[in-house]
Structure 1
Amino acid sequence: MLYESAGRSKIFLIGYRACGKSVVGQELAVRLGYEFLDMDREITRREGVSIKELVAARGWDYFRRRERELLLELSSPPAPGPAPDTPGLVVATGGGAVLQEDLWPAIKAAWPVVWLTADAATITARLSGDSSSEQQRPALTDQGLLAEVEEILQQRLKLYRQAAGLEIDTTTAKPAEIVDRIIDWLQEQS
């Protein structure tokens, strides 16, 4: 493994929706021989409904509590002693996982955290071109999509920046190029 610690190796990908966390995370996991976990998909699997349905039925506070519980579960510190013979894990967090801001200093201290970024126009175009996005995730504001993306990005910018050890703009980069940059960075860290 390229990045090792005492315990199962983990890499966390953060960033706004449609910045490539899932696509890049899956490719990164394959390249490293790690497992991949998308937090939003895991929450929907555990709850048995889409995020949109979950939020409609139980509210954003309930969803954020489930997100926090899963983040705590996934970010547990490395265990002392020899590393277990299990593959590492690449975690694609939900776009709002950085709102759990009290958790990120410990996560960043224990594990690599990579922030995937894109400009608001690119994010809006990607979301508009993804028919499943609207079905799976509710709007965060009552504004149009571009205005919402710009507002939420502005609100979260500082949180993403504080949580990340590496920032990569995905606006024009291909997933394989992004994975190469992450792997190079991981090698520099070890």
Structure 2
Amino acid sequence: MRDRNHFEDPVAHSANAVVRLALIGYRCTGKSSLAQILAQQWGWRAVDLDKVLQERARKDIADLVREQGWHSFRMIEAELLREFSKHERVVVATGGGIIETPECRETLKRDFYTVWLTADIHTILQRMSKDANTAAQRPPLTDKTPEEEVRSLLEHRRPWYQECSILKLSTDRMSLPRLAAEIEKAMHRGDKEEFPIRIE
């Protein structure tokens, strides 16, 4: 995980303060829900990048990928992340594969306090099976079974998640309020603690 030791109060206005936060991680690790909690607590804006992309494209991600392919989707995603990297006081919930794009990895490292949310494979599969939006918003990425796909992609993406993140949190057993508290605590610590910080 990257070393970023100049962050202060998440709602402060000094030049060195955190002004935008990104949540990364695999599908169904709680990014969108946690973004809402954090934004509400801090008086910031929560941005669900997948939802913004679908609203602007006027179609579901599955349809967009089917019509234009994954490369086109990733380029649109990168453009949106670049756009919100210029905003302040935003919590951005990213898509699970955003770290596959080199430009996005650089943007996350340069412009965001980035938190990596994790969950056990079986937790992810259970959450996906209960999510009514999975089929439309989360199309299969391979021809493997769901478990094989999750296992394979987690292994493939793990180095990139680690490269981009300052903080890693497991969402298996922690409530959303507790996760929010841990993030705020880490941001307040700033240069008082040694990175990487891992809480699981």
Whether TM-score is above 0.5 comes out as yes
Q: 1:46 to 1:118 in 2, by over 3 A?
A: same
Give the alignment of 1:1-190 within 5 angstroms.
2-3=9-10, 4=12, 6=15, 9-76=19-86, 88-189=89-190
Cα drift, residue 105 of structure 1: 4.0
Report the secondary structure of 1:31's partner residue.
helix
Cα drift, residue 102 of structure 1: 4.0
Gap runs ≥5 in structure 1: 79-86
Report the secondary structure of 2:117's partner residue.
strand
What is the distance in 2 between the residues matched to 1:167 and 1:149?
19
Once structures 1 and 2 are overlaid, which stretch shifts more, 8-17 or 161-170? 8-17
What is the distance in 2 between the residues matched to 1:67 and 1:106?
12
Cα drift, residue 128 of structure 1: 0.7
Gap runs ≥5 in structure 2: 1-7, 192-200
What is the distance in 2 between the residues matched to 1:186 and 1:61?
34
What is the distance in 2 between the residues matched to 1:22 and 1:11?
12
Cα drift, residue 109 of structure 1: 3.6
- Percent identical across equivalent pairs? 35
What is the distance in 1 between the residues matched to 2:66 and 2:108?
30
Query: Aligned letter for 1:97?
Result: I
Root-mean-square deviation (CA), in Å?
2.0
Query: Aligned letter for 1:89?
Result: V
Query: Aligned letter for 1:63?
Result: F
Cα drift, residue 167 of structure 1: 0.1
What is the distance in 2 between the residues matched to 1:142 and 1:103?
26
Count of equivalent residues? 181
Q: Is the 8 A contact 1:12 1:91 kept in 2?
A: yes
Cα drift, residue 152 of structure 1: 0.6
Cα drift, residue 53 of structure 1: 0.8
Q: String of CA shifts for 1:28-67, please: whole Å, max 9, x gaps.
A: 1101110000000010011000101111111111101101
Cα drift, residue 103 of structure 1: 3.8
> 4+ runs of 1 displaced by more than 4 Å?
none
TM-score (normalised: structure 2): 0.84
Q: Which residue of 1 aligns with 2:197?
A: none
Q: Is the 8 A contact 2:82 2:107 kept in 1?
A: no
What is the distance in 2 between the residues matched to 1:94 and 1:103?
11
Once structures 1 and 2 are overlaid, which stretch shifts more, 137-146 or 67-76? 67-76
What is the distance in 2 between the residues matched to 1:37 and 1:134?
21
